[in-house]
Amino acid sequence: MRNRDDTKLGNLASRDTRSAEKRILCYALAMKRSSAIFLQIVIVLIGICVLALMLWEPHIEGRNVHATLFEIYFKDPFLAYAYIASIPFFVALYQAFKLLGYAGQDKVFSRAAVKALRTMKYCAIAIIGFVAVGEIFIMLNDSDDRAGGVFMGILVTVGSIAIAVVAAIFEKNLRKAVNARSKKDLTVGEKRPSSSRTMNCSPPRPKS
């Protein structure tokens, strides 16, 4: 009888331990999701601010003081080039938004995350190329603020190089980790708990 009571107490203690571990894991997962959502909001705000700045900045240029909207946006080839060159920037922001979504869902070690990092790397390289051509355009044409344009181009180039290098490093390491996990799953053939599996963190329903 005493052994049976000890077994029941042991089972209850083990069940309480598993329940506590589950609550801790659920709390950590909720914190990770909230952090990812917060960073996604920051990325959206950055995109909105940059877009608003690109649309507003031509109006404050000295040569556009008395110009109409049509003349500002449709008679300046460099402005059209700048808008085209900004496409890789917004694509990179979107990929960063998706990557944070994978992190919030605990799906970082996936081929989709590797693809997002690769796309961010290519976007950064494309921005560097667009900026280089833009710098040549500024140097060959008469401009009221040539030094400011060159300085901004240098800043954007340095930032893009840093992003390209970081994205390339993370992509390489993440791709190795994903390939190693896939090979291990195929070789061993065992069903391991996937990090992408969602955990049921909802409270138990009361019995009717």
Q: pLDDT (tens digit, 9 = 90+) per residue, 140-186?
A: 877 666 777 788 889 999 999 999 999 999 999 988 888 887 777 66
> In whole angstroms, what is the distance from residue 25 CA to residue 74 CA?
55
Number of domains in the chain: 1
179-207 burial string, b = 16+ CB within 10 Å, else e?
Answer: eeeeeeeeeeeeeeeeeeeeeeeeeeeee
pLDDT band with cut points at 50, 70 and 90 for residue 25: low
pLDDT band with cut points at 50, 70 and 90 for residue 195: very low
Closest CA to 78 of 38, 156, 133, 23: 133
State residue 26's pLDDT score.
57
* Residue 7 located in a structural domain: no
The mean pLDDT of 99-121, rounded to a whole number, is 89
The mean pLDDT of 38-45, rounded to a whole number, is 94
* Residue 27 located in a structural domain: no
* Residue 147 located in a structural domain: yes
- Quote the domain boundaries for residue 146: 38-188
* Residue 163 located in a structural domain: yes
> In whole angstroms, what is the distance from residue 123 CA to residue 86 CA?
10
The mean pLDDT of 74-98, rounded to a whole number, is 91
